[in-house]
Amino acid sequence: MAAGQSLSADYLAYIEQYRETAVRQQQEYGIPASITLAQGLLESGAGQSRLATEGNNHFGIKCHNTWKGDGIYMDDDEKGECFRKYGNAAESFEDHARFLKRKRYEPLFSLDVTDYKGWANGLKKCGYATDPRYASKLISIIELYSLDEYDTGQPIIASRKHLEGDESLEHSIDMEIINEFKLTHKIRRKWGLHYVTAYDGDTPDDIADEFGIKERKLRSYNDLPRRGDQQFKEGDMIYLQEKNEEAPEGHSTYTVRRGDTLRSIAMRYGIRLESLLRMNRMKKDDVLPAGATIRLRK
């Protein structure tokens, strides 16, 4: 696991509980265990979603015309849609495997069982989900948790013991930014702060919803306007908590480069914009001439 990424205890517990089921499904149906686990994690929020807790539905499968069993109703692409309700999780896993054996998903079974990227992209292409980033979400989960090792018959032990003594499970992170989909964007750490990097087209609402943060707080953390359309560019840094009052020791000043703004400098060094303005007795709209010196510490 790369430095700065944190593993979710809920995700680990889910993997531990259902890894053997996923491997059995691979052996019987030819569906990669990593794909089954990643879809279960993503669709059910590691077993915490309403569909999973009330309907034992771990894969978000809707009723459709052929379903003869019970249903659970909730808003999705449309209001009040019917989702399949199962007697237990095992029935959901079994139905998921049979669901993927339909003709629509037939092209997937020409792929190697170890080609999780091909399967992830194929699921999106075949119409399993409407989320344009569905494939990248599955791949991110698989790679962070090494789920592909279950496809080869040499699985790692994915349990809480796997993290004993591992400081990468950050207990210091504010619990309001933890939710079941946090792995869509990998959490990193810089200047003592947790942040993620954006995908092209992400919005403040996307990131706030993913991490369980109120959008107004996320906008405040990143010195964004309180309202208005805002789209991030690929690689933009987005802080998940309040930035610092000043830069760390060793970063006392900054020499302005062409194109810099006070906000971009504040973001680069993890400093609250209002603190940076105060230290330099400036206003946020002030133009910065190249070569000017900006104070980063009090």
Query: What are the tens digits of pLDDT across the range 179-229?
Result: 334 446 777 778 888 888 888 888 999 888 877 788 999 999 999 998 888
More confident residue, 56 or 250: 56
Dihedral Cα 22, 140, 113, 124, nearest 10 deg: 100
Tokens at residue 276, please?
A: 């940076």
- DSSP code string of 193-254: EEEEEPPTT--HHHHHHHTT--HHHHHHHTT--SSS---PPTT-EEESSPPBSSPPTT--EE
Q: For residue 208, which amino acid is it?
A: A
Confidence band, pLDDT 50/70/90 cuts, at residue 6: low
Distances (CA, A) of 83 to 55, 67, 176, 222: 8, 10, 29, 38
Q: Within 10 Å of residue 160's Cβ, how many Cβ atoms?
A: 12
| Model confidence pLDDT, tens digit, residues 125-165 | 999 998 889 999 999 999 888 898 888 864 433 333 333 33
Helix (H, G, I), strand (E, B) or coil at 136: helix
228-255, pLDDT tens digit by residue? 888 898 888 999 989 999 998 888 999 9
Token readout for 281 is 């007795």
Top-confidence residue, 257 or 209: 257
- Quickly state the pLDDT bin for 8 (edges 50, 70, 90): confident
Output the CA torsion sign for 90, 91, 96, 97. Answer: positive
| pLDDT for the residue numbered 287 | 86
Quick one: what percent of the chain has pLDDT higher than 70?
Answer: 87
- Provide the token pair at 82: 């019917």
Query: Please, which residues have CB within 8 angstroms of residue 292's CB and are 6 or more apart in sequence?
Result: 255, 256
Residue 233 DSSP code: P
Taking the complete model, does pTM exceed 0.85, yes or no? no
Average pLDDT, whole number, for the chain?
83
Residue type, 7: L
Q: Could you tell me the end-to-end alpha-carbon distance of the chain, in angstroms, rounded to an integer? A: 36
State both tokens at 171.
């207990």
pLDDT at 153: 60
pLDDT tens for each residue of 73-130: 987 767 878 999 999 999 999 999 999 999 999 999 999 999 999 999 999 999 999 8
Q: Let me know: does 238 contact 209? Beta carbons within 8 Å.
A: no
- pLDDT (mean) for 168-181: 37
99-107: long-range contacts at Cβ-Cβ below 8 A with a sequence spacing of 24 or more? 99/59, 99/61, 100/29, 100/31, 101/29
**Which pLDDT value is given to residue 168?**
35
CB 273 within 8 A of CB 223: yes
3-state secondary structure of 37: helix
Tokens of 14: 């889910």
Spatial neighbors of 67 by CB under 8 A, at least 6 apart, are 82, 84
Per the listing, tokens 């400093």 go with 271
Question: How far apart are the C-alpha atoms of 44 and 41, rounded to whole Å?
Answer: 6
